[in-house]
């Protein structure tokens, strides 16, 4: 549910061949266009989830949903579960009630934990509890899973009572398999920057720069009230507003060039794909504005893959398919 450009599906399929998607839904026509460009198997049901008959959804063992989070986010108005988008959680409950899958896998912003003084998260847990699901959850940060993005999200795994309980959380320091360290002990993550000619003239061309190099060569920051503020190596969480400009949009420049030659620019859609763990050009075929929006609304693929591996390792019921 709320499949977007396929971050859940891509992450789980990368985690194990045991995961097989049988149905997906979203009502954003641009996200659906991207989804269909990668999976032409007819599993996508485009349209309003409220109009979907849950009995028409194929039988499945695991229901995934990164349900719309704007009303829970600290960046929003904190309308919480009573907000228009927040009520979409109850669409998840409607499907769970009708289909009774053994497991449910949810994602939302960290603000879900504190929205409405914690009442929103309590409603989510009690709603799942009433449907017969016991839950475990953890806040994970994308920066710990191979991408230089400071993106904290809460992940919830629910299992239907009577089904084996997979031990997924906590995923701790010893389980962070995506981190690689250089000789100085600093984390080296995947390449995100475009070719060096993006930064200005007379720069030695590099096909890609890994993030460890990026931190030595690039200034990464954003403008606040006309002033450029720098980050310490990790770009803040992407939002759907990347393509519309304004404050707090990450900017990047080559710090080795003389000040007069430092071309400050925002991140490209391809770099944002890398920040979210998607392959290059995953979102091509739509306008850049829509690419930024779709990527800002997506889950980080690397984190989903890590959870998917932990789920498989933790426990799978005999005969279950995903």
Express each pLDDT in 65-115 by its tens digit. 998 766 665 555 556 566 655 578 899 999 999 999 999 999 999 988 888
d(CA 23, CA 185): 43
Q: Say if residue 125 is exposed, middle or buried (CB neighbours under 10 Å; 0-12, 13-18, 19+).
A: middle
Q: Does pTM top 0.95 for this prediction?
A: no
Helix axes 301-314 and 7-15, enclosed angle (nearest 10): 50
Which regions in the chain score pLDDT beneath 70? 69-86, 172-234, 243-248, 251, 253-264, 315-322
Identify whether residues 22 and 60 lie together within a single domain. yes
Please check whether residue 148 lies inside any domain of the structure. yes
Identify whether residues 135 and 193 lie together within a single domain. no
319 Cβ neighbours under 8 A, 6+ residues apart: none
d(CA 208, CA 213): 10
Identify whether residues 64 and 207 lie together within a single domain. no
Confidence at residue 275, expressed as pLDDT on a 0 to 100 scale: 87
Please check whether residue 260 lies inside any domain of the structure. yes
Helix (H, G, I), strand (E, B) or coil at 132: coil
Please check whether residue 57 lies inside any domain of the structure. yes
Confirm if 295 and 269 have CB atoms less than 8 A apart: yes
Confidence at residue 67, expressed as pLDDT on a 0 to 100 scale: 86
Estimate to the nearest angstrom the gap between the alpha carbon of 249 and the chain centroid. 18
Identify whether residues 196 and 304 lie together within a single domain. no
Give the chain's domain count: 2
Identify whether residues 142 and 192 lie together within a single domain. no
Helix (H, G, I), strand (E, B) or coil at 298: coil
213 Cβ neighbours under 8 A, 6+ residues apart: none
Identify whether residues 120 and 206 lie together within a single domain. no
Range of the domain at 215: 187-275
Mark 14-51 as b/e (b = at least 16 C-beta within 10 Å).
bbbeebebebbbbebebbbbbbbeebeeebbbbeebee
DSSP state of 111: G
d(CA 269, CA 242): 9
Identify whether residues 91 and 129 lie together within a single domain. yes
The Cβ-side half-sphere exposure at 30, using a 13 Å CA radius, reads: 17
Nearest to 76 by CA among 252, 299, 237, 292: 237
How far is CA 169 from each of CA 43, 113, 138, 309, rounded to the nearest angstrom?
30, 17, 6, 12
Nearest to 277 by CA among 143, 139, 105, 102: 143
Confidence at residue 166, expressed as pLDDT on a 0 to 100 scale: 87
Identify whether residues 225 and 112 lie together within a single domain. no
Residue positions annotated with a catalytic role: 69
- Both tokens of 101, joined, read 């899958």
Nearest to 304 by CA among 140, 93, 164: 140
d(CA 301, CA 145): 9
Confidence at residue 265, expressed as pLDDT on a 0 to 100 scale: 74
């Amino acid at each position: 549910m709320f499949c977007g450009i396929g971050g859940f599906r891509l992450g789980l399929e990368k985690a194990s061949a045991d995961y097989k998607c049988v149905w997906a839904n979203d009502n954003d026509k641009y996200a659906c266009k991207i989804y269909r460009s990668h999976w032409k198997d007819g599993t996508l049901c485009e349209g309003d989830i409220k109009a979907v008959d849950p009995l028409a959804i194929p039988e499945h063992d695991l229901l995934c949903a990164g349900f719309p989070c704007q009303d829970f986010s600290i960046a929003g108005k904190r309308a919480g579960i009573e907000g228009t988008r927040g009520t979409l959680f109850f669409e998840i409950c409607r499907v769970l009630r009708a289909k009774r899958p053994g497991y449910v896998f949810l994602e939302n912003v960290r603000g879900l934990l504190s929205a409405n003084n914690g009442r929103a998260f309590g409603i989510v847990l009690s709603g799942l509890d009433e449907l017969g699901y016991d839950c475990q959850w953890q806040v994970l940060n994308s920066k710990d899973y191979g991408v230089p993005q400071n993106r904290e999200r809460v992940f919830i795994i629910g299992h239907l009572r009577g089904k084996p309980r997979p031990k997924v959380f906590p995923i701790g320091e010893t389980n962070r398999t995506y981190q690689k360290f250089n000789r100085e002990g600093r984390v080296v993550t995947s390449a995100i920057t475009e070719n060096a000619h993006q930064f200005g003239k007379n720069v030695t061309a590099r096909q890609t720069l890994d993030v460890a190099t990026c931190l030595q060569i690039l200034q990464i920051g954003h403008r606040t009230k006309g002033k450029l503020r720098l980050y310490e190596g990790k770009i803040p969480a992407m939002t759907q507003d990347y393509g519309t400009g304004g404050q707090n949009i990450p900017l990047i420049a080559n710090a080795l060039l003389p000040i007069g030659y430092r071309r400050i620019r925002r991140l490209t859609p391809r770099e944002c794909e890398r920040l979210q763990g998607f392959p290059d050009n995953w979102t091509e075929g739509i306008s850049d504005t829509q690419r930024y929006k779709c990527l800002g609304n997506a889950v980080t693929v690397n984190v989903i893959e890590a959870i998917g591996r932990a789920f498989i390792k933790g426990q799978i019921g005999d005969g279950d398919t995903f």
